[in-house]
Amino acid sequence: MSSTTDAPTDPPIVEAPEHTPFSSMLQRFDRAAELLGLDDGLYRILKEPERELKVAIPLQRDDGSLEVLSGWRVQHNSAMGPCKGGIRYSPHVDVDEVRALAAWMTWKSAIVNVPFGGAKGGVCCNAREMSIKELERVTRRYTIAIMDIIGPDRDVPAPDMYTNEQVMAWIMDTYSMHQRHTVTGVVTGKPWGLGGSMGRREATGRGLLTMVREASLVKELDLANARVVVQGAGNVGATIATLLDEIGVKIIAISDIDGGLVNTGGLDVPAVVAHLDKNGSLDGFAEGERCSNDELLELECDILLPCATENQITSRNADKLRCKIIVEGANGPTSANADDILDANDIFVIPDILANAGGVVVSYFEWVQDRMGYFWDERDVNNRLHRLMQKAFRRVLDRTKSSAVNMRTAAYMEGIDRVAYFTKMRGIYP
């Protein structure tokens, strides 16, 4: 009796995938921690989320059918104060994405020096295809599921992708009903009149405007003659496009989830936004030529604002970008693998954890106003936002010079250094 065995063969060559959002965050965290000389104990504490909660959310559809959705809330770090971070409804949500977003919120809050830690939540669902009643059912059931770990002194959610003021109102109401009294401070991004702050809806876009102005000064770019491309036409993208248009900056392209719209002579931004508000899409807008989102990123321009979602700029397309400045309106739009390519091409990147921190700044303002029961006017909110964002930009820029690093690494160093200080001063209990 004889037997044979297969001859050994080399494993197939598989192209390495781009890093996941959380591994990209860790890669950048590791570099900043090494440059800071962070000790091993603090390193272990700061890299790990403090708490992760996965929940099952039963949903009864309008037609009576039942399904179960998955949801998460991740609290990354609370050394500086209550955790803070948005809730997104997306079919692409998973725990890796939520972990990364929670960590980015930790560093973001620290960079702008507001007393919050970092958290994030999400429900894996297609909100675009759900009715308003289905969205309300999902929101209230998700709120009940995470209610034991949120609260104005513990963890304060906010809007994110495919959530809005109405969703925040449902969360606030559900939480308040179980507390037997109104608790406006449990979420931010609420409607005005229910404890919301003036200027909150436009806050991320207004913060980006400060970043664009500061970056233009650094790179000696005349904004009056600049050409700007905006990827994403949601709240953030539409707001920054509108604000730039109002000060005379030419927007040559903008996109939604289905593709881009290009007009090298400059888009009529108010008309584009009105069309989006009416139709929910760029489809059918007559001015300009259509392009894909990939093509939009590669347009020749002075400033690129990726305001859509994660991993839009990767090692596969970073060397094709033809911009001078990138201001990241979305969370994680650039993979860690793309950073060195952008540096080699002398593209000045204002990273997400600095650039889009306007949302958490005005969320902080809203939280403060809720606790005082006294609300500021919009001009006051916007002026305070501009001052905090400008100070944060200049602190990070100073660190680029003192540590000879790019803006992303400097931002991570700034955030990690501050959270490490709070952790060390508080000590380990017990």
**Distances in whole angstroms, Cα of residue 401 to Cα of each of 65, 407, 409, 410:** 59, 10, 12, 9
Q: What is the CA angle 380-224-358, rounded to 5?
A: 30
User: What is the dihedral angle through the alpha carbons of 372, 170, 22, 329, rounded to the nearest 10 degrees?
Assistant: -70
The burial class, CB within 10 Å (0-12 / 13-18 / 19+), for 247 is exposed
Q: Confirm if 59 and 69 have CB atoms less than 8 A apart.
A: yes
C-alpha–C-alpha distance, residues 109 and 116, integer Å = 6
The DSSP element (H or E) to which 255 belongs, if any, is strand 250-256
Residue 117 three-state SS:
strand
Determine how many CB atoms are found less than 10 A away from the CB of residue 9.
6
Instruction: Read off the tokens for 55.
Output: 């929940």
> Which residues are part of the catalytic machinery?
120
Pairing of strands 83-90, 155-159: parallel
C-alpha–C-alpha distance, residues 87 and 121, integer Å = 4
